[in-house]
Chains A and B, each alone.
Chain A
Amino acid sequence: MQNNSLIEFSDLSLSYGDALVLKNVSFKVDVGDYVFFLGKNGSGKSTLVKSIFSKTNHKRGAVKKCPSLMDNSYISYVPQLTRINNELPITVEEFVDLGRLNSKSTYTVQDVLEMVSMSDYKDSSIWALSGGQRQRVLLARSFIRDAKLYIFDEPTNGVDIESKQDFYNLINEFSKEKMISKIVVTHDVSMAVKYGQKVAYFNNKSVQVSDVDVKIKSRFSEMIHLQDQFFKGLNND
């Protein structure tokens, strides 16, 4: 494993039950990388992410992690909002504080709530917040771990375009001047091109990784701009 690699998927085949989901996947995530996992539902994006934490689905090959990621204390995971049990009572402050479990972070709850501009809501129930505000709280919970690798599993599903951009801008703001790596699992091509450095495309049980260079970004930027204008127009109407 190279010195600047955080994670290396080496000839990895993964299954879900008896069904083979991914075959002979080989690529690496380097320190500071911002990788977007794109692909259809059931193409193996989340299964690959889960293989970082557990070996249960491994059929063949290996996931090599750098030594600092071995005990998971430097990994931060953000699930979909809908996977969180919304029946249990919890305040914003308590929710963010749970992110400190098994971590060596020195951030306080107040620090990270200020980063996402949610410190005024710290005593509110998380279930009384809007979708966009909950996303910010989820981000605060992941930031408090002060991790080396951040994994966002379809984090902006069901959120409006402004909240989506707000979400990715907050990630950029937080990771500025930090050598942290980010993996985002999403269906959103426009966000992947706008914010990502690399795209891993999941198709037919294989993964193709390519850089998102300036050329691609500029080709997509007009489309993204038009999309923004369209949604803003809808909001004004």
Chain B
Amino acid sequence: MIETFGEIINTWQMFQHSYYAGLLSAASLALISLIIVGKRRDFLGASLSQVSLMSIALILSLESYLVHLSIELTESLFLQYFLSIFVSIGFAYFILEFFQPKKLHSHLSVVVYLLGACSSVLLVVNSPHGTEEIHQLNSSSLIGANYYDVIVLSIVLICSLIYFERNYKKLYLFLLDSEMASTIGISSKKTHLEFSILIGTIIGVSLKVVGFLFCFAFSVLPALCVIQLRTSMKSFHWFAMALASLCVLISFYFSMYWDMPLTQLAVLFALLQYFFISILQMQKT
């Protein structure tokens, strides 16, 4: 087992961007898991990941079409990021603001999920490169992360943390008791817009780097664990980030030890963490 640590250190230079990207994505997604679970929209992360995937597929298909016309699409990566974030923010706001009753928003989440899932594959059907890219993102793989992904993810995480630290009490009151929040002047529309920007940006950026499965899992499970562990609202988001990062760190080790894909292992450890905490809580009560 000690040899595995040596292997991680030896290969650090080669995979460091993937490791950093995994940790940063998990921490950012854990941050928004408080909002997603607090708003009781557990499926929102999955739906937004799929529409982000659809927008990436759209750019890839456009790229492939332009190649046929002998035109090269410059800044394709930038466009993928931009559209993925933009579409994700738009759908997040649409679901949060206009579909308040529980039944309606869960229906809409399913529709958005299915729309994203089928169209992302159909859009790239004539592009071998696009098909490969979409399949990779659908099944989640961290290995392709690069220096720029790490920079973008770092900026997104820092900005999100600043927002959380500055607005934590207002944000928590809104999630806990939106009626009281609106009576003291916390605007529902403005808060939903802020939430949508935060959730849309984090999912839009993370999806491009870590893929669908990782995005969905870490946008829900960390908050579900913290809810069971804590009785206080204090540092909820820091606990969620710590639990998510722990899963990713453990998966670094075991993916090397067992020679298994990192993202799927990280999700499996997040699930095990959730089951373990749930069983502990059940025994307590």
Chain A residues with a Cβ under 8 A of chain B: 53-54, 71-73, 75, 77-79, 83-85, 87-91, 94-95, 97-99, 101-103, 124-125, 128, 141, 145, 151, 153
Contacts of B180 in A (CB 8 A): 77-79, 98-99, 141
- Rounded to whole Å, the gap between the CB of B81 and the closest CB of chain A is 32
Contacts of A128 in B (CB 8 A): 231
Q: A54-B182, A101-B169 are in contact. Are A85 and B175 (CB under 8 A)?
A: yes
A91 near B232 with CB under 8 A, answer yes
Chain B residues with a Cβ under 8 A of chain A: 37-38, 40, 169-170, 172-173, 175-177, 179-180, 182-186, 226-227, 230-234, 236
Q: A84-B177, A88-B38, A98-B173 are in contact. Are A53 and B183 (CB under 8 A)?
A: yes
Besides A88-B175, A89-B227, 10 more A-B contacts (Cβ < 8 Å) are: A53-B183, A73-B184, A85-B175, A87-B227, A89-B231, A89-B236, A91-B232, A94-B234, A97-B169, A98-B180
Q: A88-B227, A103-B184 are in contact. Are A77 and B38 (CB under 8 A)?
A: no
- Rounded to whole Å, the gap between the CB of B230 and the closest CB of chain A is 4
Contacts of A151 in B (CB 8 A): 183
- Rounded to whole Å, the gap between the CB of B278 and the closest CB of chain A is 14
Contacts of A91 in B (CB 8 A): 231-233
Q: Complex formed: what's the CA distance from A125 to B285 in Å?
A: 14
Contacts of B172 in A (CB 8 A): 88, 90, 98
Contacts of B185 in A (CB 8 A): 71-73, 102
**Which of B175, B176, B179, B236 lies in contact with A77, CB distance below 8 A?**
B179
Beta-carbon nearest neighbor of B224 in chain A? A87
Q: A72-B185, A79-B177, A79-B179 are in contact. Are A89 and B233 (CB under 8 A)?
A: yes
